[in-house]
């Protein structure tokens, strides 16, 4: 099948959630399909990143947006354009013409578009069918952020959430199929048979199961440390959760690992018992060297890759209900789940003091990942959505 793959971030290096998903889907699908990856980017990327996409087996077209269009986009929003800022900030007339030419010349069977921000570049009704990978309900994500945010960004997030909710539903009506990571995300978007659940996977080779010795009390939180839901989790960890753990286990340490840490995160990491690793060559050794992975998410939606990666690596997880909402896990068997700071700290102390139970949970979690969360199965589900979209167009 000939597919045009629209993204707004290159899938390499796979740091953010959308990049991880695109990277592994392309890695699986490019060898058996003719895929052109069309990247809508603010500026021309370094040659090494272009080579990284080519190594996946996809042909790459870079459409440079520039940054000059951001101010007019914001002005349109103020003057009555009801589309989300997520969309307006990525729309450029010249880029639309360039993508339209790529679509016209490519004779594609299907267009696979990732995230709502690609909406201005989707082909019209006479073009190839569209499979839209929304990943999650961004409107719900922003609504939750509005509740957790401090300061003037809270009303902006609420305003954007309202616009997104309306826009997401219109896009779903337009697309042949829309993909999300979980049933909860599908329900948040209003459901429907054309909204298909395609869970993420985990690279079990990269995150190999580690059953060897670990530190006595090293906790880890990892992910994109410039992403609001992760920043919020770090704040909560440092202010309310970790001090409770240290009151019980004074030698406990907390390691924050991830790219793009904000000044807030860097300041929090100066607290006693904390360390920060902002630029590690690979995440898996850090995860495998931890005793317990903490995932105390309050904001955000979708599937938390960090939970799957820790489970794959044999690092027992303590998480909040929002962090596992998209996963087919059983609390108490595959991980421990708690809602408030005291309960999260207590669950963490339980695992630190009972290594035998921690190992049992870790083994069960790894087994679940191997059965349920492979990128091969995830990519096959994408492929099935393409086939269904093309089949429906032919009716």
pLDDT of amino acid 366: 98
pLDDT of residue 304: 86
**Fold of the 2-201+375-394 domain:** Rossmann fold (3.40.50)
Point out which residues pair with 130 in neighbouring strands.
Answer: 111
SS3 label, residue 6: strand
pLDDT band at 139; cut points 50, 70, 90 = very high
Q: Are 293 and 310 in contact (CB under 8 A)?
A: yes
- Residue 395 scores a pLDDT above 60: no
Is the pLDDT at 119 greater than 80? The verdict is yes
d(CA 135, CA 114): 8
Burial of 71 by CB count in 10 Å (0-12 exposed, 13-18 middle, 19+ buried)? exposed
Judged against a pLDDT cut of 90, whether residue 330 lies above it is answered with: yes
pLDDT value at residue 216: 95
In the block, which residue shows the tokens 């191997």? Answer: 370
CATH architecture classification, 218-372:
3-Layer(aba) Sandwich (3.40)
Tokens of 306: 């960090």
Q: Encode pLDDT of 224-242 as tens digits.
A: 999 889 999 999 999 999 9
Helix (H) / strand (E) element for 114: namely strand 110-114
**pLDDT value at residue 69:** 67
Per-domain residue ranges for the chain? 2-201+375-394, 218-372
DSSP reduced 3-state for 257: strand
State what percent of residues in the chain have pLDDT above 70.
98
Helix residue spans in 56-137 (DSSP H):
70-78, 85-88, 93-106
pLDDT per residue over 53-70, tens digit each?
999 999 999 999 987 766
Helix (H) or strand (E) holding 268: helix 263-268
Is the pLDDT at 303 greater than 80? The verdict is no
Highest mean pLDDT (candidates 148-162, 242-256, 302-316): 242-256
What pLDDT does 57 receive? 96
Is 2-201+375-394's fold the same as 218-372's? yes
Range with the lowest mean pLDDT among 181-190, 249-258, 297-306? 297-306
* CA angle (218, 221, 222) in 5-degree steps: 125
Decide which of 106 and 78 is more confident. 106
Structure tokens that stand for 73 in this block = 């986009």
**pLDDT tens across 11-33, in order?**
998 888 899 999 999 999 999 99
Those residues whose C-beta lies under 8 Å from the C-beta of residue 69, and which sit 6 or more positions away, are 89, 91, 92
Q: Confidence class of residue 394 from pLDDT cuts 50, 70 and 90?
A: confident
What is the per-residue pLDDT for 81? 85
The residues with which 372 forms a beta bridge, in sequence order, are none
What kind and span of H or E run contains 264? helix 263-268
How sure is the predictor about 348, in pLDDT bands with cuts at 50, 70 and 90? very high
Look at residues 49, 52, 48, 45 and name the one whose alpha carbon lies nearest to residue 30: 52
Average pLDDT, the chain: 94
Mean pLDDT on 273-282? 93
pTM, whole model, 2 decimals?
A: 0.90
């Amino acid at each position: 099948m000939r597919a045009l793959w629209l993204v707004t971030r290159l899938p390499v290096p796979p740091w953010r959630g959308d990049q991880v998903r695109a990277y592994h889907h392309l890695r699986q699908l490019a060898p058996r399909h003719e895929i052109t990856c069309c990247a809508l980017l603010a500026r021309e990327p370094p040659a090494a990143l272009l080579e990284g996409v080519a190594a996946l087996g996809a042909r790459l077209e870079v459409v440079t947006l520039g940054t000059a269009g951001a101010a007019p986009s914001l002005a349109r929003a103020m003057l009555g354009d009801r589309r989300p800022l997520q969309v307006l900030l990525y729309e450029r007339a010249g880029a639309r013409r360039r993508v339209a030419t790529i679509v016209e010349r490519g004779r594609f069977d299907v267009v696979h578009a990732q995230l709502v921000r690609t909406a201005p570049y989707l082909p019209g009704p006479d073009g190839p069918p569209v499979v839209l990978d929304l990943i999650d309900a961004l409107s719900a994500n922003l609504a939750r952020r509005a509740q957790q945010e401090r300061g003037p960004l809270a009303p902006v997030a609420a305003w954007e959430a309202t616009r997104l909710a309306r826009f997401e539903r219109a896009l779903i009506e337009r697309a042949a199929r829309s993909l999300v990571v979980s049933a909860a995300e599908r329900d948040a978007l209003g459901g429907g048979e054309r909204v298909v659940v395609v869970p993420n996977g985990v690279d079990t080779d990269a995150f190999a199961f580690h059953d060897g010795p670990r530190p006595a009390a090293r906790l880890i939180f990892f992910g994109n440390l410039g992403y609001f839901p992760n920043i919020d989790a770090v704040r909560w960890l440092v202010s309310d959760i970790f001090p409770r753990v240290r009151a019980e286990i004074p030698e406990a340490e907390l390691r924050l690992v991830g790219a793009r840490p904000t000044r807030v995160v860097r300041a929090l990491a100066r607290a006693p018992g904390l360390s920060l690793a902002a630029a590690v060559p690979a995440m898996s050794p850090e995860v495998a060297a931890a005793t317990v992975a903490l995932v105390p998410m309050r904001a955000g939606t979708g599937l938390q890759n960090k939970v799957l990666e820790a489970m794959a690596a044999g690092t027992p997880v303590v998480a909040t209900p929002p962090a596992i909402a998209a996963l087919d896990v059983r609390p108490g068997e595959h991980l421990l789940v708690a809602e408030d700071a005291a309960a999260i700290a207590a669950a963490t102390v339980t695992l630190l003091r009972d290594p035998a139970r921690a190992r049992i949970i870790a083994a069960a979690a790894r087994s679940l990942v191997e059965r349920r969360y492979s990128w091969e199965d995830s990519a096959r589900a994408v492929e099935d959505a393409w086939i269904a979209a093309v089949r429906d167009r032919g009716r």
